[in-house]
Structure 1
Amino acid sequence: MQDTNRVLNRPYRLISEVFAISLPIAAVIYSLQVLPRFGIIIYKEQYLTLFIAICVALSFLLKPAVKSMTRNTPPWYDIVGAVLALLVGGYIFLNYDQIVRSLGLITTDKVIVSVIGIVLLLEAARRHVGWTMVSVGLLALAYAYFGHYLSGMFETRVIRWDRLVTYNYLGTGAIFGTPVEVAATIVASFVVFGQVLFLVGGGSAISDFAFALMGRRKGGPAKVAILSSALFGSLSGSASANVATTGMLTIPMMRRVGYSAKRAGAVEAVASTGGLVLPPVMAATGFLMAEFLAIPYSAVAIAAAVPAILFFFCIYLQVHLESVKTSVAGADIEELPDLRDAAQRMIPVIVPFAILLWTLFGWNWNPAASAFTASFATIVMSVVIPSMRRPLKAYIQTFVEAGNTVVFIAIMCAIAGIVVGCLGLTGLGSSLSQNLIAVSGGSIWLLLILSAIGCIVLGMGVPVTATYIILVILIGPAFTQLGVSTLGAHMFIFYYGTLSFLTPPVCLSVFVAASIARSAPMATAVEALKLAVVAYIVPFAFVLNPAFLLGGTPVENGAAVLSGLASVSLISAGLVGFLVQCVSLPVRLVLVVVGIASFFVSNLHPALALVPVLILGALYGQQKLMGGGTSRAILNG
């Protein structure tokens, strides 16, 4: 993602700020259904068309065509692009009644606005993330148009180019479908919440509390990185951005207490990436999942809780065991904030989160309404509490930054919408799913392995939200045809799409962390794979055993959680080579193998969840008898 915006001169800066601030304001008005209360009714597509038009116009104003261009005034062709984007959006907005009544009739005006709109959208995407997503969109369009020249499973019917472009730009199942709708409502609301929270000191409060709580413990800075990066990652929705933000503080501190450069970078990269799958926010993808599955978001967040807990428990336990094994000390106490003061500073952060969670899970509000209510409460608190109070200009700038952040997400969702539209026209999704089932021979294990590889490969260099959207359409039906629950299938795709940020060769989170730690990227990636090993296992576990998503009986759910925690402990002890004392290499291999296998035993019978618990207890007891006082050190973490 290009992170260099133009520093515009005053007239253009004012225009761009007005556009940017209009996006979250529009999201509030539309999401809370303000206009219908005054008798004003607009189609969803009208709103989304205008929303994307403003996003594209902002992209042309703020993002230079070439990264090296640093002029403060947009060149004439960028101004033309921005104006065209607004004209296209305005034309569709004003004439949508007529357009929707004659959607099946292709006319010259529809073709012109569709072609211009798609070209401008692709160029806006190129300016944000380079050619990766643009290539995905162009490939989808090329396949839909030229697919009838192919043979076999990839052969399509003849699709005229005018039908192709109008379907994608004016239809309801492509660019302006569910992904963009979620981006322009729910995602925008949570971006506002995150920005407002950071404005009033929420970011520093979270960071200070993490340091005060964890910094003194063995390997404290690494544990701080896990806690703070998890919280930041869930809110920010970008693993790489999270690494760049929190890693600048946590990685140098880890290095000072004795962590190697590759280990410090790996801890930060894995924790930041894990934030994407951590409830209650789960970046943007959890909301999309709820929309696709037509279930409350609270159901998605509750289902994601156990896998996320196991993910972070694995990271934390490996860090702790490694710290005890190598005697890595905590941070210097003089560097750490006072715990009581840090806890008091967290109160203004906890209150908005409590409002968010209560309205979202307790009252089952729309996620956008919950986030906007929490944002409003945060602003009110900041006005009342002097230490949180900010100048009026700062609040305005926060909404501008929120709008600029939403632009990137909306553009990526729109490009993913092109792929969805082309797949819908060609029917490739269903045919590919049928062929995946045929190749796997009906074996759920082989299908999961093939799908996991596909998710990681297709997700490399592509934002996780876009990856999820594309892969759900492509391979999601294959899962359900083999009896996998739709929630399990979607969560599997989400997890493995996210893991592309950690999996070589294109592991963006690792690259950012390695650049901060000044370590070798591939060596850092290997360390990251060790820390994140459970994230590669648990999706298989919850597909085969819905109890890991809390989809079984209370006994089955409890057995899954128990076996999962014990399995993580066995795997972590095996990978680190330490529990109470050092573990020999043969025993380490046995622990890892037994730990992985133990993830799947509770699926056979809940009582079998006791097997990994007993094995762990036996090893711990045996080492405690041999090691004596060392066991007290391991518990002090």
Structure 2
Amino acid sequence: MLTLLRRLAPGQSRVLPAAEQGFVHLVGAATGLLLLAMAFGWYVPREIALFLFLGAVLSLAFLTATGHPGRSRGRSWWAIALAALSLAACAYFIAMRPVHELRLPMIDELTPLDIAASILLILLVLEATRRCIGMTLVTLVLVFLAYAVLGNRLTGAFAHRGFTTQEMVDHLVFSTNGLFGPALEVAAFLVFVFVVFGALLDRFGGADFFYEMANSLVGRQVGGASKVAVVSSGLYGSISGSPTADVVTTGSFSIPLMIRTGTSRTHAGAIESAASTGGALLPPVMGSAAFLMTDFTGIPYASIVLAALVPALLYYLSVFLAVHFKAHRDGLKPMSEGETPRLRDVLTRHWIYLLPIGLLVWGVLSLNRPSFAGAIACAALLPVAILRERSPLKLVKALFYGLSDGMKGMIGVGVACAIAGLVVGTLSMTDLTGKISSGLFVMADGNPLLTVVTAAFVIIVLGMGMPTPAVYALSAVLAAPALIALGIELLPAHLFIVYIASMSAITPPVAVAAFAAASIAQANPVKIAVLACRIAMVAFILPFVFIYHPALLLVGSAGTILLSVTLVVAGVVALNAALEGYCLVRLDGLRRGLLLAAGLALLLPSDAMRIAGMVLFAAMMLWLLANRRASRSVAVAG
């Protein structure tokens, strides 16, 4: 079993010699500068920009990742050859663009060299996916491609007319429905700007600012170290949008601090994993999947951000309460005064960081051009950089490496979006989407709730070991039509997919955020993943709630929204208290069971059950409050 998992796992990061490292930084910074200039409005033809982006992503993927977890992390001539082939293949398409522009897609013949270059590019994308994401996704893509090739030999509903090699290549490479389709376009022209903003912010001390801010806000509370991890990971993750990057950045501070103040290694890793995963759900950036959602649905990004705000805050409320109740149950101490700075002091030292972050939030909500909003936020980092790096040489160096870091952070996302384009292209070419949606209905026997549960299960299975953008892109074409056919609105249906897909970072057995946390906490990654899923359980429940109660997405009257949010908050409190065994006082089995029943009832779609849950929750809180007063009276009398 372990051998099989190692075969399916992605490669490791390489330790590059100086020459290759310099090349990686140069390609990363040059590509980053080009994409940033385009975000500011500099015109480059779409096709040329995508060829350059894909060539950079593939070459960096081969140079920075090994072919297998057990392979040597040093120089590899195979990797260098594959990187050169990637650049050559994309250079061919750039050189041939004037010719390809004049041909009529699906009508004019492709030359043998066009077909050979296209097949080579597809194979390079598959190999880069194997190295960066793992064999699971490659196997899935190969199944879809095999269906396109052999589906005409099937009988029944899943048969298709069959396709020639030229038709497949034309659709997958030369149309906007395949490899160079919306997913790769969003990655290059939208996601990158926000990733590079996070990389530059990190270069200029942004992670330290978020950590100190969180420390000043909650460090003096009971279980302060764990709460600092939750708040700092949420703040940083809302900008970076990457659970793994969040774990590595904030977890390097928070996990050792939690362990030092009495939290077990497994629990420390789980708290950091759950808190970091939520960053992909928290505005203003929300990770890469939200940008793909704008393209798939046509819904403005600002509307998605506003709709996602309340569920994201409820998620972090849940994680915070889980930490809070456990800290009181275990008797953890607050952090010492010397370890917790005052908020005024933090803002006095670091107020300038609020300028680019505030500008980013304003731009995303006010402008109808998210990429431009990200670009001006990057420009607003210059005052921070000038104050931090006094020397002009150091400033240029920091900007160079920040752009390079941003591009390296895009490797996994870029590869995932490229491979997702191949799947989406295959699905559209064979009309498999409608057949799978019909299959979901059949599996659920036409039951609406069971269809939603089945769709969630499919998304979770797809998400094991895959990055969120790839999971969302696949699920948006596989599961979304089935959800919308049930009468669910477009926004709740796609946001449902984003939430379930985001949980792939902590879903066993291949939970990338949990594995990153395990390397810092020195604990078992599977145990961390299982515990992280329990801490983050509200993220698995909330999508079902807002599908049936879209008031959580700020849809409806103010009174309806307020009532719905109040009931869900009560449900989140009750569930976390039941799971952690504490709420005002330690809870026995009976009171935990009653709170669990109240919490579940408050989150059910039935109005009668929600009212019953609220009555039970109110009665339980009065009972627990009376117990707390009684225990305090006994303590004073003693």
Measure the CA separation in 2 of the matches of 1:355 and 1:484. Answer: 34
**Structure 1 residues 533-542 or 94-103, which shifts more?**
94-103
Contact 1:189–1:368 under 8 Å retained in 2: yes
> RMSD over aligned Cα, in angstroms?
2.5
- 1:451 maps to 2:455: yes
CA shift for structure 1 position 433: 0.5
**Structure 1 residues 241-250 or 63-72, which shifts more?**
63-72
For 1:38, the equivalent position in structure 2 comes to none
Measure the CA separation in 1 of the matches of 2:26 and 2:238. Answer: 28
Measure the CA separation in 2 of the matches of 1:173 and 1:630. Answer: 66
Other structure's SS at 2:13 match: coil
Measure the CA separation in 2 of the matches of 1:526 and 1:631. Answer: 36
Measure the CA separation in 1 of the matches of 2:249 and 2:64. Answer: 22
For 1:18, the equivalent position in structure 2 comes to 26
CA shift for structure 1 position 171: 1.3
Measure the CA separation in 1 of the matches of 2:284 and 2:327. Answer: 30
Alignment of 1:108-507 (within 5 A): 108-362=112-366, 364-384=367-387, 390-507=394-511
CA shift for structure 1 position 351: 1.0
- What is the CA deviation profile of residues 77-113 of structure 1, one whole-angstrom value per residue up to 9, with x for unaligned ones? 4444333323322232233243243322232232112
Paired amino acid for 1:22: A
Paired amino acid for 1:622: W
Other structure's SS at 2:381 match: helix
Contact 2:40–2:375 under 8 Å retained in 1: no
**Structure 1 residues 345-354 or 230-239, which shifts more?**
230-239
CA shift for structure 1 position 153: 3.8
Measure the CA separation in 2 of the matches of 1:537 and 1:138. Answer: 33
CA shift for structure 1 position 64: 4.4
Paired amino acid for 1:60: F
Measure the CA separation in 1 of the matches of 2:391 and 2:186. Answer: 31
Paired amino acid for 2:417: C
Measure the CA separation in 2 of the matches of 1:425 and 1:224. Answer: 49
Contact 2:219–2:340 under 8 Å retained in 1: yes
CA shift for structure 1 position 496: 1.3
For 2:41, the equivalent position in structure 1 comes to 33
- 1:53 maps to 2:61: no
For 2:16, the equivalent position in structure 1 comes to 7
CA shift for structure 1 position 521: 4.1
Identity rate, percent? 32
The answer for unaligned runs of 5 or more in structure 1 is 36-40, 633-637
CA shift for structure 1 position 609: 6.5
CA shift for structure 1 position 501: 2.6
Measure the CA separation in 2 of the matches of 1:384 and 1:587. Answer: 55
Contact 1:502–1:528 under 8 Å retained in 2: yes
Measure the CA separation in 2 of the matches of 1:66 and 1:506. Answer: 16
Contact 2:291–2:301 under 8 Å retained in 1: yes
**Structure 1 residues 57-66 or 152-161, which shifts more?**
57-66
For 2:109, the equivalent position in structure 1 comes to 106
CA shift for structure 1 position 115: 0.9
Paired amino acid for 2:341: P
For 2:5, the equivalent position in structure 1 comes to none
Other structure's SS at 2:221 match: coil
Measure the CA separation in 2 of the matches of 1:564 and 1:388. Answer: 52
Measure the CA separation in 2 of the matches of 1:424 and 1:119. Answer: 20
Contact 1:429–1:473 under 8 Å retained in 2: yes
Measure the CA separation in 1 of the matches of 2:93 and 2:461. Answer: 37
What TM-score does the superposition give when structure 2 sets the normalisation length?
A: 0.91
Cα distance change, pair 450–613 in 1 and its aligned pair in 2 (3 A): same
Other structure's SS at 1:103 match: coil
Cα distance change, pair 65–503 in 1 and its aligned pair in 2 (3 A): closer
Cα distance change, pair 563–537 in 1 and its aligned pair in 2 (3 A): same
Cα distance change, pair 348–95 in 1 and its aligned pair in 2 (3 A): same
Measure the CA separation in 2 of the matches of 1:207 and 1:461. Answer: 29
Paired amino acid for 2:13: T
Paired amino acid for 1:436: L
Contact 2:389–2:395 under 8 Å retained in 1: no
The answer for unaligned runs of 5 or more in structure 2 is 1-9, 634-638
Paired amino acid for 1:157: R
For 1:619, the equivalent position in structure 2 comes to 620
Paired amino acid for 2:53: F
- What is the CA deviation profile of residues 557-585 of structure 1, one whole-angstrom value per residue up to 9, with x for unaligned ones? 11111111111111122212222222231
Paired amino acid for 1:375: C
- What is the CA deviation profile of residues 502-546 of structure 1, one whole-angstrom value per residue up to 9, with x for unaligned ones? 233333333333443344444434432331221111110111111
Paired residue total: 619
Measure the CA separation in 1 of the matches of 2:519 and 2:28. Answer: 31
Contact 1:311–1:532 under 8 Å retained in 2: yes
Cα distance change, pair 431–354 in 1 and its aligned pair in 2 (3 A): same
CA shift for structure 1 position 341: 2.2
Contact 1:60–1:79 under 8 Å retained in 2: yes
**Structure 1 residues 44-53 or 350-359, which shifts more?**
44-53
**Structure 1 residues 232-241 or 272-281, which shifts more?**
232-241
Paired amino acid for 1:537: I
Measure the CA separation in 1 of the matches of 2:21 and 2:580. Answer: 53
Other structure's SS at 1:281 match: coil
- What is the CA deviation profile of residues 24-49 of structure 1, one whole-angstrom value per residue up to 9, with x for unaligned ones? 222123333323xxxxx62x233212
Q: Give the counterpart of 1:552 among 552, 556, 559.
A: 556
Paired amino acid for 1:163: E
CA shift for structure 1 position 309: 1.2
Measure the CA separation in 2 of the matches of 1:406 and 1:83. Answer: 19
Contact 2:12–2:68 under 8 Å retained in 1: no
Measure the CA separation in 2 of the matches of 1:365 and 1:193. Answer: 18
CA shift for structure 1 position 420: 0.6
Paired amino acid for 1:103: P
Contact 1:230–1:274 under 8 Å retained in 2: yes
CA shift for structure 1 position 409: 1.5
